[in-house]
Amino acid sequence: MSTEQLTLINSEDVSLYVNGEWVKANDKSQFEVYNPSTKELVAKVPRAGADETRVAIEGAAGAFKTWSKFTAEKRASYMLRLRDLMLEHTEELARIMSMEMGKAYTEAKGEVTYAAGFLTWYAEEGRRIYGETIPASAENKRLFVIKQPIGVVAAITPWNFPLAMMTRKLGPAMAAGCTGVVKPASQTPLTALAFAKLAEMADIPKGVINIVAGSTKAISDEIFGNKIVRKISFTGSTDVGKDLVVQSANQLKKLSLELGGHAPYIVFADADLQKAVKGVVASKFRNAGQTCVCANRIYVHKDVKEEFANLFVEEVKKLNVGNSLDETVDVGPLVNESGLEKVLEHVEDAVGKGATLLVGGEKYTEENGYFYQPTVLDNVTDEMKIMKEETFGPVAPITVFESDEEVIEAANDTDYGLASYIYTKDIARAIHVAESLDFGIIGLNDALPGVAQAPFGGMKESGYGREGGHQGIRDYLEEKYISLEL
**Do 462 and 238 touch, CB atoms closer than 8 A?**
yes
Residue 34: CB minimum distance to ligand NAP, A: 13
* Torsion sign over Cα 99, 100, 104, 110: negative
- The rounded distance, in Å, linking the Cα atoms of 390 and 416 is 10
Instruction: Name the segment binding ligand NAP (CB under 6 A); options: 174-182, 184-192, 273-281, 427-435.
Output: 184-192
Task: Identify residues 307-336 at the interface with ligand NAP (CB under 6 A).
Answer: none
CA distance from start to end of the chain:
69
**Do 408 and 433 touch, CB atoms closer than 8 A?**
yes
- The answer to the question of residue 261 lying near ligand NAP (CB under 6 A) is yes
In the set 157, 233, 324, 375, which binds ligand NAP (CB under 6 A)? 157
Residue 300: CB minimum distance to ligand NAP, A: 24
In the set 106, 186, 356, 412, which binds ligand NAP (CB under 6 A)? 186
Residue 112: CB minimum distance to ligand NAP, A: 16
Cβ of 32: how many Cβ atoms within 10 Å? 11
- The rounded distance, in Å, linking the Cα atoms of 16 and 21 is 8
- The answer to the question of residue 116 lying near ligand NAP (CB under 6 A) is no
Instruction: Name the segment binding ligand NAP (CB under 6 A); options: 36-44, 89-97, 138-146, 158-166.
Output: 158-166
- The answer to the question of residue 243 lying near ligand NAP (CB under 6 A) is yes
In the set 36, 158, 177, 333, which binds ligand NAP (CB under 6 A)? 158
Between residues 211 and 259, which has the closer beta carbon with respect to ligand NAP? 259
Q: How many residues bind ligand NAP (CB under 6 A)?
A: 25
- The rounded distance, in Å, linking the Cα atoms of 246 and 282 is 36
In the set 199, 259, 263, 395, which binds ligand NAP (CB under 6 A)? 259
Q: Which amino acid is at 474?
A: R
- The answer to the question of residue 233 lying near ligand NAP (CB under 6 A) is no
In the set 38, 167, 191, 220, which binds ligand NAP (CB under 6 A)? 220
Residue 168: CB minimum distance to ligand NAP, A: 8
- The answer to the question of residue 260 lying near ligand NAP (CB under 6 A) is yes
Q: Name the 3-class secondary structure at 29.
A: coil
Torsions phi, psi of 93, nearest 5? -60, -40
**Do 108 and 161 touch, CB atoms closer than 8 A?**
no
Bridge-based pairing of strands 419-423 and 263-267 is parallel
**Do 4 and 323 touch, CB atoms closer than 8 A?**
no
- The answer to the question of residue 207 lying near ligand NAP (CB under 6 A) is no
- Residues noted as catalytic: 258, 292
Site mask for ligand NAP (CB under 6 A), range 458-477, x = bound: x-------------------
- The answer to the question of residue 160 lying near ligand NAP (CB under 6 A) is yes
- The rounded distance, in Å, linking the Cα atoms of 393 and 375 is 9
- The answer to the question of residue 399 lying near ligand NAP (CB under 6 A) is no
- The answer to the question of residue 390 lying near ligand NAP (CB under 6 A) is yes
Instruction: Name the segment binding ligand NAP (CB under 6 A); options: 71-79, 130-138, 229-237, 319-327.
Output: 229-237
* C-alpha R_g of the chain: 23
Strand arrangement, sheet containing 263-267: 356-359, 375-378, 395-401, 295-301, 263-267, 419-423, 441-444
Residue nearest to ligand NAP according to CB distances in the complex: 236
The residues with which 300 forms a beta bridge, in sequence order, are: 267, 400
Of 282, 231, 286, the C-alpha closest to 423 is 282
Residue 399: CB minimum distance to ligand NAP, A: 21
Binding site for ligand NAP (CB under 6 A): 156-161, 183, 185-187, 216, 220, 235-237, 240, 243, 258-261, 292, 390, 418, 458
